[in-house]
Amino acid sequence: MNCVRVVAPAHLHAGNFDLNGGLGRLYGTVGFTIDYPKLVIDVEKAVGVEASNILAERFARAVAQSFGVTGFRVVVRESFPEYVGLGYVTTLGIAIGLGVSELFRLRLSAEDMALAIRRGLVTTLGVYACKVGGFIVEGGFEVLLSGPISKRDLILALLTYHIANSTCCTSACNWFTVGSLYNYNSCAVALS
């Protein structure tokens, strides 16, 4: 495989239910993914590490350094505005990471990527929007958490999710798909 295409939804935060930790956990977020706008990127084998824009290059280099891979290019084919509340930055970073993971068969998770690119450290809604899509309730982080956030902490934050009508071509797919560029419409590889 020389190229993978990653399609990921935008997401909206509907609110946080514990901003001061009074319930024993900080933040906790309710949100959901939306069909449009969406992010479409291609991750292709290449020499070195390159990307079609500065933010994508920052994440590509972080993934390369964290997992010891080089020889790929990220091309952003479709995007949406950053910093307008649709989760573009987190979605882009995780999409790049999971595309690289698929291209090099690294078998890494959305949580692995979030930690590598330093996303999901306040709310994990963006991480789980990419991983499972739909309506998401995440429980935030323990108030007494000391030290760096671990993969276990990210996994424990997800309380529930519900996948509504998926726009993917099979009911087994979620809204975040990774597949071979040349077999994209078949959803040959879907993350769940």
Name the pTM for this structure: 0.76
Is 175 inside a domain boundary? yes
Q: What's the CATH number where 82 sits?
A: 3.30.230.120
Structure confidence at residue 143 (pLDDT) = 63
Number of structural domains (the chain) is 1
Is 132 inside a domain boundary? yes
Is 89 inside a domain boundary? yes
Number of helices and strands (H, E) in the chain? 5, 8
Tell me, what DSSP letter sits at residue 190?
B
| Phi, then psi, of 52 in degrees rounded to 5 | -85, -5
Is 80 inside a domain boundary? yes
Is 119 inside a domain boundary? yes
What secondary structure does DSSP assign to 23-54, as a single string? Answer: TSEEEEEEEEEEEEEEEEEEEEE-SSEEESSH
Is 81 inside a domain boundary? yes
Per-residue pLDDT of the chain (192 residues; tens, 9 = 90+): 788 999 988 888 887 777 777 777 777 788 888 888 999 999 999 999 999 999 999 999 999 999 999 899 999 999 998 888 888 988 899 999 999 999 999 988 888 888 888 776 667 777 888 777 788 887 776 666 556 666 666 555 566 555 444 433 233 333 444 443 333 222 223 332
The range of the structural domain enclosing residue 94 comes to 3-186
Is 177 inside a domain boundary? yes
Is residue 8 within 8 Å of residue 185, measured between CB atoms? no
Give the DSSP H/E element, type plus range, for residue 120: none
In whole angstroms, give the CA distance from residue 187 to residue 37.
Answer: 19
Is 191 inside a domain boundary? no
Q: Give alpha helix (H) positions in 68-120.
A: 88-103, 110-117
